[in-house]
Amino acid sequence: MQSYGFVGTGELTAAIVEGLSSSGNPPQIHLSPRNHRIARDLAARFPNVRVAGSNQEVLDRTTTVVIAVRPQIARDVLGELTFRPGHVVVSAVAALTLAELRAHVSPAERVVRSIPLPTASRRASCTALHPDDPAARALFESVGEVVVPRDETALAAFSAATATFAAHLDQLATIAAWMAAHGVRPDDANAYVAHVFGELGHTLRRHDGTLDELAAKHMTPGGINEQFRTALREAGVPDHIGHGLDDVLARLTSQ
């Protein structure tokens, strides 16, 4: 039976483990005891999940190991572990480059950086990883799709793009609040905005062209969608988004 180990038991690990464990033939999973609440909950819900006594025990019991600890403590955690040459080390820590990871996990030679998404819980993640590796690909294809950027620089751009989630949700909250300020009940406003943009997400998944083409399909010349987009562009919103992403990318690549 395939087995995976997870060093770090936060929400992202929980999402991946839930997705893996809901498959028809779930792998054996060994969890770090770092977050006892999440680890115990997963072990109680899924019979294929075990909580190890230590991070080192996770490594001792598995070959493919996912590192999913907070960037601030990642170097200290890795420094306490002893890896084997046969380990496949899959890092979900944004701040660590491949060169740094290889130095920390030597003598393990197969090292992969990854950006799994919380939607792994329902096996709908689109995980960016680099470099390509059959073990890492098999892991993440079990919880969704896989995309392999051409190099580590491109992978950093994928990571920076994930920094936009909260801002996007904040924009939706702003729309709902505007509706409420104009007489709509807050619950109705939230439900309506969630429905509209939830359905737009399904449209995005089915669309096989560019995002610019999809945007054009949602506008008519002189219509209100065109009016609103034009107002945001004239206010410099796209430039602000680009500058914000540049700042995030600089932070990710300077650590």
- 164: which DSSP letter? G
Mean per-residue pLDDT for 143-163?
96
The mean predicted confidence, pLDDT, of the chain is 95
Q: Where in the chain is the domain with CATH 1.10.3730?
A: 163-253
What tens digit of pLDDT does each residue of 19-48 get? 999 988 899 999 998 788 999 999 999 999
- Dmax over Cα atoms in the chain, in whole Å? 64
Local confidence band at 1 (pLDDT 50, 70, 90 cut-offs): low
Mean per-residue pLDDT for 49-62?
96
Mean per-residue pLDDT for 169-192?
98
Which residue is listed with tokens 């992978």?
155
- 187: which DSSP letter? H
CATH topology of domain 3-148: Rossmann fold (3.40.50)
Q: Which CATH class is domain 163-253?
A: mainly alpha
Mean per-residue pLDDT for 98-108?
95
Q: Where in the chain is the domain with CATH 3.40.50.720?
A: 3-148
What tens digit of pLDDT does each residue of 88-99 get? 999 999 879 999
Structure tokens at 80: 């306490």
What tens digit of pLDDT does each residue of 6-18 get? 999 999 999 999 9
Of 125, 146, 133, 164, residue with least CA distance to 244 = 164
pLDDT of residue 12: 95
Distance of CA 19 to the CA centre of its chain: 13
Q: Torsion over CA of 254, 252, 248 and 93, rounded to 10 degrees?
A: -160
Question: In the chain, pLDDT over 70 holds for what percent of residues?
Answer: 99
Task: Tell if the pTM clears 0.85, that is, is over it.
Answer: yes
Q: What is the DSSP string of 103-127?
A: HHHTT--EEEEEE--GGGGGT-EEE
Local confidence band at 65 (pLDDT 50, 70, 90 cut-offs): very high
Q: How far apart are CA 43 and CA 23, in angstroms?
A: 16
Q: How far apart are CA 227 and CA 232, in angstroms?
A: 9
pLDDT of residue 255: 65
Q: Is the pLDDT of residue 144 over 90?
A: yes
Local confidence band at 150 (pLDDT 50, 70, 90 cut-offs): very high
What tens digit of pLDDT does each residue of 196-243 get? 999 999 899 888 899 999 999 999 999 999 999 999 999 999 999 999
